[in-house]
Amino acid sequence: MTTLLPGYFISFEGIDGAGKSTHIDSFAKLLKERHPDRDVVMTREPGGTQLGEQLRALLLDAPMNIETEALLMFAARREHIAQVIEPALMSGKIVISDRFTDASFAYQGGGRGLSLERLNDLECWVQGRPDGSLLQPNLTFLFDLPGSVAEARRSRVRAPDKFEKMDLDFFEKVRQEYLRRAKADPRRFYLVDATRTTDVIWNDLESLEIKL
């Protein structure tokens, strides 16, 4: 059961270089224009809090055991939910996060091979609410494209972090796990073909009617 709170929670997902950051600010602006009475909170994972950003710096740089990595991701998420996401949603705000739990399933599960059962347990712990429901995004944009295209885009503009240094086989597994989750929950996911130009992607996002 997914929690129903007064706010609206949107996550942007996809492999590194898919175009999430490119579109997220304009998308927030669009929602503000459409809903001037609603506050929009922009955030990201790992991160979103002071502690979360410190954990992010470690997670994106320091080598560590796979389970340690998953635990730190979920520790950062717990703090993020408690300090930022839940209070915002309780007070009716729109929260837009650059990544959320689907990324843990895709990267630590699909990519690194950590058991999905373990990740499910962590998800229940960290996103569980007193009424037994799970805090989940209302809507998730999955920017989907082949790893090779994403890698070419990234290499033009930035030095790779720990994840971005992984090979194409890793990113293919991450992508497949994202797609599997999208297929399993079509009501929450909106699949974006990220191989298209930014203009075409923007028209796609803009034409989507979101009932808050």
- Smallest CA-to-CA distance from 180 within 119, 95, 124, 94 is with 119
- Torsions phi, psi of 208, nearest 5? -75, 125
CB closer to Mg ion, 20 vs 173: 20
**Buried-state track 41-60, b at ≥16 Cβ within 10 A, e below 16:** bebbbbbbbeebeebbeebe
Residue 86 vs 177, nearer CB to ligand ADP: 177
Answer for the pair 144, 12: CB distance below 8 angstroms, yes or no.
no
Q: Which does 173 bind (CB under 5 to 8 A by kind): ligand ADP, Mg ion, none?
A: none
Residue with Cβ nearer ligand ADP (50 or 198): 198
Integer Cα distance of 123 and 77 in angstroms: 10
Q: How far is the CB of 144 from ligand ADP (least distance, A)?
A: 11
One symbol per residue from 83 to 112: x for binding ligand ADP (CB under 6 A), - otherwise; what is it? ------------------------------
Alpha helices by DSSP H, listed for the chain, are: 20-34, 50-59, 66-80, 86-90, 101-104, 116-127, 147-157, 168-184, 198-207
Q: Is 162 in the site for ligand ADP (CB under 6 A)?
A: no
Instruction: State the binding string over 5-34 for ligand ADP (x if CB under 6 A, else -).
Output: ---------x-xxxxxxx------------
Residues numbered 171 to 200 that lie near ligand ADP (CB under 6 A) are: 197-198
Nearer to ligand ADP, 133 or 195 (CB): 195
Angle between helices 116-127 and 66-80 (to 10 degrees): 20
For ligand ADP, which is the closer residue by CB, 20 or 80?
Answer: 20
Which spans of this chain sit near ligand ADP (rule: CB under 6 A)? 14, 16-22, 153-154, 157, 197-198, 201
